[in-house]
Amino acid sequence: MNIKEFVEYLSRIETSENAENLYEGNSFESIVRRQNLYIYLTFMQNLPTSVLLVGEAPGHRGCKLTGIPFTSEKILIEENCFGILGEDKSYVHINPSNKLQTEVSAAIVWNELRKYKEIPLMWNIYPFHPFQSFKENTNRSPSGTEINRGKEILNELLKLFDIKKIGAIGKKAESGITKLKHSFKTQYIRHPSYGGQALFQQGISEFIGPRITK
């Protein structure tokens, strides 16, 4: 399976009624998210990287719009982190006439990652958007069943990259990566939300390694 086939595989997976497969179907939004994810994964494969950060699930102000984990529209279009982001890389945002959406967690994550020599691949243990019943523009934690399904998807993604170690951002992500078939060095990292920014920064520093020296 190559990256194109992986994105197509991802788009065919069914979800429950209170979760959205962001990559499914032929709507403009779904096509944009598939294209963005394909571009991102291709850039990451060509770097290459040996580090993977796994979050819990897409947020409605970030990955739900862009298709890329921990990446808001503002970061996707206006940033050029490690030469893999930016409008000149052919990424598209869903509502070009509207103000670019921001997400607090995405901003914290990228502001920290730019300090390091190696950029990690980013993913979510459940790569689809789980929301509260009948409220699509909300977030909820993925269920155990969703995490198990996401673990199967992550196993397929790992076949495309030479990953040596995995950092789990949040307890839900940690529960998923402990069930992986592969043998990796793993580490729990505090999620930056709800006052966890300092512990998140500490965890990233311990996990990724050398910073960029100025």
- Tens of pLDDT along 157-201? 999 999 999 999 999 999 888 877 677 888 999 988 878 899 999
Q: Where are the alpha helices (DSSP H) in 67-190?
A: 73-78, 104-113, 144-158, 171-177
Residue 214 has a pLDDT of 56
- Give the Cα-Cα-Cα angle 99, 102, 108 (nearest 5 degrees): 155
DSSP 8-state class, residue 48:
-
* Helical pair 144-158 and 3-11, crossing angle rounded to 10 deg: 160
Could you tell me the pLDDT band of residue 113, with boundaries at 50, 70 and 90?
very high
User: Above pLDDT 70, what percent of the chain?
Assistant: 97
Nearest alpha-carbon partner for 89 in 50, 123, 38: 38
Share of the chain above pLDDT 90, in %: 66
Higher confidence at residue 138 or residue 34?
34
Q: What is the pTM of this model?
A: 0.93
The predicted structure's pLDDT at residue 212? 67
User: What is the residue-averaged pLDDT of the chain?
Assistant: 90
Q: Which residues make beta-bridge pairs with 51? A: 165
Per-residue burial over 76-105, b = 16 or more CB atoms within 10 Å of its CB, e = otherwise = bbebeebebbeeebebbbbeeeeeebebeb
What residue spans define the domains of the chain? 3-208
pLDDT(87) > 90: no
Contact between 17 and 25 under an 8 Å Cβ cutoff? The reply is no
Q: What angle do CA 49, 51, 57 make, to 5 degrees?
A: 115
Q: Which CATH class is domain 3-208?
A: alpha beta
Instruction: Kindly indicate the confidence band of residue 213, based on its pLDDT and cuts at 50, 70 and 90.
Output: low
pLDDT interval class at 64 (50, 70, 90): very high
Interval 95-108: pLDDT, tens: 776 789 999 999 99
pLDDT in tens, 26-60: 999 999 999 999 999 999 999 889 999 999 999 88
Question: How many Å apart are CA 122 and CA 166, to the nearest integer?
Answer: 10
